[in-house]
Structure 1
Amino acid sequence: MDKLNEERVTQDDPRLVQLIRNYYIEQPSEEPYKLLDPERRDPSLDQAVFVDRTLRNMASGFFVDSGAHDGEIQSNTLFFERIRHWTGILIEPQPKLYQQLKSKHRKSFHLNACVSFKGKITYLRIYVMLLNLEKKSVFVKKSKVNDPVTSRLDMQCQIYISPKRNVYKNLPYNVNKDPKLGYEKEMDKLNKERVKPDDPRLVHLIRNYYIEPPSQEPYKLGEPGRRDQSYGQSVFVDGTLRNMESGFFVDSGAHDGEIQSNTLFFERIRHWTGILIEPQPEIYKQLKRKHRKSFLLNACVSVVPYPSKVKFLPTSFYGKMVENVTSEDKWIKEGFKEITVQCFPLYSILLAMNQLTVDYFSLDVEGLEVGILNNIPHDKVKIRTISIEYDKVDGGAEKLKTLMKEKGYKFLVKMDSPGAFDCIFYK
């Protein structure tokens, strides 16, 4: 690098790009966040709020944070990373502060350097870092300063990314994906080992090979003019959370992402994001075609504290997990065939999402709700509101009331109407 400094090489010199990529930039952390104030959604002094509104609550973007400090105090980018699921690069030149930044386990790239202010390099140049990440479409907005160096940079860079652009094309959520890895065989090994839900290997596989990013395409809904597809659950939860904006949901049993969806309202109207979990392969294809703006997972939530493959009977609408299927089963008689699906503990999924705070959890898994609820470490995962289907649970609504009270939840309402047999709880 000293040689290149002396030569004052051009910003896109291949030798410079190769050195920064392989020796200077560090990968996002795979560990859970370690923040001083984990409950604070936005540590900035309102810069993040203003930019968020300007970009219309855009999800899955890319940022550059030059002068990132410790990655938390007055950070303008932590909100986008945690709440909007962006990634980016955190640039901090001071070694001691950089060590503090690394200790926060931010989910963005790190660089212990400074951005050069000269026409040729002294240390680094922002355009080079963008080339390093193979992200040539990220730009800095034109400066009002009449400076030839800034002007040259403006011609190549711009900070705004169109929401229509797939920002995951070159900087995907699965930044550590190895295309040669037989990930299904690796998962089979973890299934056999019955690894713990926070096993780093499990979290890595879910994050990099199973979770799919939000769509960047326009919605493709059957009823685009309908604000709320639920049977009252969304309205009740929305009132409970006082019309909260920019929250995070988990939708387990998401179906096609539109019909009777409890979360589509929050995504479209309240600008939330979240994860849509649907085990049926054919229904999951329909879900993907809706172009929801949330993460997707073609799997089921486990009723045991480890990953596993289970037998699943995809019926005409909902589907269900089964242990023993015989030729006498009514669904078999109707022509439905048993399949095998991968299941993950909810805690593992949330660790893979770097999101241990859930504002709304919609749980509809045809009778297996209690098993899922009992395997959530409620001391580590904060869930504010939960709607749980009760009509297929042994013991019904009363069983759920007792269970959730033991877990510190307050019962709010029992919904009893066609399409809505849910109990809603709050904590």
Structure 2
Amino acid sequence: MVAVVIVCEEIDTRKLLFFGKTLPFGLRCPAEKKNLTRLMSFTLGLSDKQKGSIPDILTILHLYDLADYLQDWLDKPFHASFYLARFCLVRSRKKRRYVKKLLRPTRKRRTLQHKGILCWDGYIRFTLTFTRVSGRIPVLLKSKACEKTPFSARGQRMRRQWNTKSIIIILVCTGFALWVIFREHDVDRRTNQKRESVKFIDLIHIPNTKLQKYLLQPYGKIQNIENKDRHYSQVKQDEVVYEILQKKGGFFLDIGAHDGQFMSNTLWLERQHDWTGLLIEANPELCKSIDKLKRNAWRLCACLSNTQDSVSFIKGGGVGGIADNIDEHHMKMLDRKNKITVPCFALEQILKTIGVNHIDFYSLDVEGAEMVILNSMKSGLKDGVYTVDVWAIEYRVWDGKQIVVEKSKENLNALRKYFHELGGYFEHSQLSTDSNNKDGYALDVVFVRTSQWCSTREKFPNGTNCLRKDKTSLIKDYLLPPHPYQEVKDADKRYSQANQDQVVYDIVQKESGFFVDIGAHDGQFLSNSLWLERQHMWTGLLIEANPDLCRKIDKLKRHAWRLCACLSSTLEKVTFIKGDTVGGVESHIDKHHIKMLNRTDKVTVPCFSLEDALNVIKTYHIDFYSLDVEGAEMAVLESLRDGLKSHRFTVDVWSIEYRVWDGKQVVYENSLENLNSLRRYFKEIGGYSEYSQLSNDKNINDGYALDVVFVRNEMYCKRHDELPDGTACTF
């Protein structure tokens, strides 16, 4: 509140002059006194009703203006004081958008950076104090209460004397105000842009600004295309792929895309079956031809490499290639002088930017550099950073006149060795431009991921029976796909017991993330994921073993996969004791927990591994893993150990319930034992740090808190310089 207080006697009114507005206050004028020696002050601050608002910068300017005007009536210069605070943009549950909020000063200043997506320092209080006021006070704003007060001629002139200090202050404050307005506009623009392209890219997490220059987004699906059923591939690669996968809306990766149409292995899939994908071509001239087609696919005019920033590329129409990888036979068809330098990017970096980690079809034709690219992908494929279902790789060597059979066989054997070492793939077929499909004469070789093939078939092409076919097929009877997104009135309502959902969002600060919620109950009561789904467009996997609760989840029509089963990599089925929120697997319920259950209310439920479910969903990165299975937490985590250590799937944030409750009180010893087991587990896994403990009361000490939160160090260090324990980030 800004107040101008004129101290007089004689007149007793209740008015406050507030730059043109009259508000209740006390006003007194002294009788027969020409000189005033009382204190006069102007204060800008926050009243109780104004908590969370930001002071008007213009008001501060008015105060300086006023102070400068009163300089002639002051014996001493005025005194100004400031109080530093922090302002942030935070998510408003009521307005459903980012708003400015004041965070009051606190000793724990480090925690302020987690409160909002944008924070800055500002001033919340500005005070001007005048002492030893001599002479008559000029009329600032006319009031009937002081009309009888004599004025000096000097006061009536109301001169304004600008000094250097005032001008500097005004410029600084104006600049600060403009900066705040600009940042607010920039944040709003980024937020809107992120929501519009939420299916493809999270703009906040783009790791390399250089990549954005070369990576172009899809144009979108074009309606009413003529000849959309036309095939362009040289040896029917597109037909073979579709016959294997039988899939609409798949994702392809076409490396050596040429002009995007001539001999394209992906254009028919895109136009006829609504696929999208990524087209990579190193020749800038051909990239321009791709852009003219306006394909519904990402385009990257660069090379693939995780070791080099750039390479020399020899242009040659459909036979151009990287200079270092072209053999002597292929070089005969090229002009060595026709070179250019092209940038290179790692495939993992590109897919991470796009937001994709599963590729249905990988077409590889880079004129001799096939093994170089495959070797750059080996660790990513082994660790499960990304997966590929079907490969079509050109291996034949042509010198311009005939097939170089020996060199072609050498290439084919190198590919076979590569996929044998990689594991999980089998050779499906070889494709040729003629009837000769013998080794060394065919154009392409096709490899297929074993688990993908056996998910829809009982036998391999050679007649061998598929392994684990029954279990892979059975999970589809229990795993239900997400319902479409639905707007609800209370989308901003939270349901978590100890604020788990908000803590997770503060850590990852991500829209459209993916969660796994194990022990999902009815999908709403004490849910750690529902607010993320409704308010921030997340999706995920809900796992609940109790069939009664599964039916309640289905009634909510959540935008998430639902699996009514238990999670295990070794067991096929378990006995589950029903108990509403406290039910659990019989073999993992301790003596304290069993007191709250009816041992006769049992049901047998099937079990599947998490990887079985992720293979169907085609997602291998989990932003948030909520684990609450009433005593079976360590059993579930052990089933995930191999997948986590090999990076076949990754998890950024964990919230795990460890506290033991016997129905009346916390069982401290058992709770502490559970917590220590979790700490040992994540230490053995490596790459994780304990972030915090969460409680539904104020006690967050070891053994008394409800949940413990772990974060993946690599993810956390992208936003922070230090890990939660204060260790410097090295990523």
Alpha-carbon distance change, 204 to 253 in structure 1, aligned in 2, over 3 angstroms: same
Cα shift at 1:413: 1.4
Q: Distance in 2 between matches of 1:107 and 1:210?
A: 25
Alpha-carbon distance change, 200 to 422 in structure 1, aligned in 2, over 3 angstroms: same
Residues 66-103 of structure 1: CA deviation (Å, up to 9, x unaligned): 4488699576983598x468876555554656775797
Q: Distance in 1 between matches of 2:613 and 2:369?
A: 31
Pair 1:425-2:696 in alignment? no
Equivalent pair of 2:609/2:639 in contact (CA under 8 Å): yes
The secondary structure found in structure 2 opposite 1:376 is helix
Equivalent pair of 2:657/2:708 in contact (CA under 8 Å): yes
Residues 15-69 of structure 1: CA deviation (Å, up to 9, x unaligned): x9x96665354756xxxxxxxxxxxxxxxxxxxxxxxxxxxxxxxx952444488
- Indicate which of 567, 576, 587 corresponds to 1:301: 567
- Indicate which of 660, 679, 684 corresponds to 1:405: 679
Cα shift at 1:253: 0.9
Equivalent pair of 1:92/1:98 in contact (CA under 8 Å): yes
Query: Aligned ranges for residues 21-420 of structure 1 at < 5 Å?
Result: 23=240, 25=242, 27=244, 62-67=275-280, 73=345, 78-79=351-352, 83=355, 94=366, 100=373, 106-107=387-388, 178=456, 204-205=472-473, 210-215=478-483, 217-219=484-486, 224-231=490-497, 232-239=499-506, 241-302=507-568, 305-323=569-587, 332=598, 337-350=601-614, 353-377=617-641, 378-381=644-647, 382-392=650-660, 395-406=669-680, 407-408=682-683, 409-410=689-690, 412-417=692-697
Residues 330-365 of structure 1: CA deviation (Å, up to 9, x unaligned): 7558xx742111122345544555544432211111
Q: Distance in 2 between matches of 1:293 and 1:366?
A: 25
Q: Distance in 1 between matches of 2:629 and 2:617?
A: 21
Gaps of 5+ in 1: 1-9, 29-60, 114-173, 182-189, 191-198
Equivalent pair of 1:361/1:383 in contact (CA under 8 Å): yes
Q: Distance in 2 between matches of 1:267 and 1:332?
A: 33
Alpha-carbon distance change, 386 to 423 in structure 1, aligned in 2, over 3 angstroms: same
The secondary structure found in structure 1 opposite 2:575 is strand
The secondary structure found in structure 2 opposite 1:214 is coil
RMSD between aligned alpha carbons? Answer: 4.8
Which range moves more in the overlay, 255-264 or 408-417?
A: 408-417
Cα shift at 1:322: 1.6
Cα shift at 1:301: 1.7
Gaps of 5+ in 2: 1-226, 246-273, 282-302, 307-344, 395-451, 460-465, 662-666, 684-688, 699-704, 713-731
Alpha-carbon distance change, 24 to 218 in structure 1, aligned in 2, over 3 angstroms: closer
Cα shift at 1:286: 2.4
Alpha-carbon distance change, 21 to 280 in structure 1, aligned in 2, over 3 angstroms: farther
Alpha-carbon distance change, 23 to 324 in structure 1, aligned in 2, over 3 angstroms: closer
Alpha-carbon distance change, 320 to 225 in structure 1, aligned in 2, over 3 angstroms: same
Equivalent pair of 1:280/1:314 in contact (CA under 8 Å): yes
The secondary structure found in structure 2 opposite 1:269 is helix
Equivalent pair of 1:249/1:274 in contact (CA under 8 Å): yes
The secondary structure found in structure 2 opposite 1:228 is coil
Alpha-carbon distance change, 111 to 63 in structure 1, aligned in 2, over 3 angstroms: farther
Q: Distance in 2 between matches of 1:96 and 1:299?
A: 48
The secondary structure found in structure 1 opposite 2:501 is helix
TM-score, length-scaled by structure 1: 0.54
Q: Distance in 1 between matches of 2:368 and 2:543?
A: 41
Higher relative contact order (CA 8 A, sep 6+): 1
What residue identity is the alignment partner of 2:709? Answer: I
What residue identity is the alignment partner of 1:289? Answer: K
Q: How many residues align?
A: 300
What residue identity is the alignment partner of 2:677? Answer: L
Q: Distance in 1 between matches of 2:566 and 2:487?
A: 24
The secondary structure found in structure 1 opposite 2:696 is strand
The secondary structure found in structure 2 opposite 1:388 is strand
Equivalent pair of 1:91/1:111 in contact (CA under 8 Å): yes
Alpha-carbon distance change, 337 to 291 in structure 1, aligned in 2, over 3 angstroms: same
What residue identity is the alignment partner of 2:504? Answer: V
Q: Distance in 1 between matches of 2:633 and 2:691?
A: 16
Cα shift at 1:234: 0.9
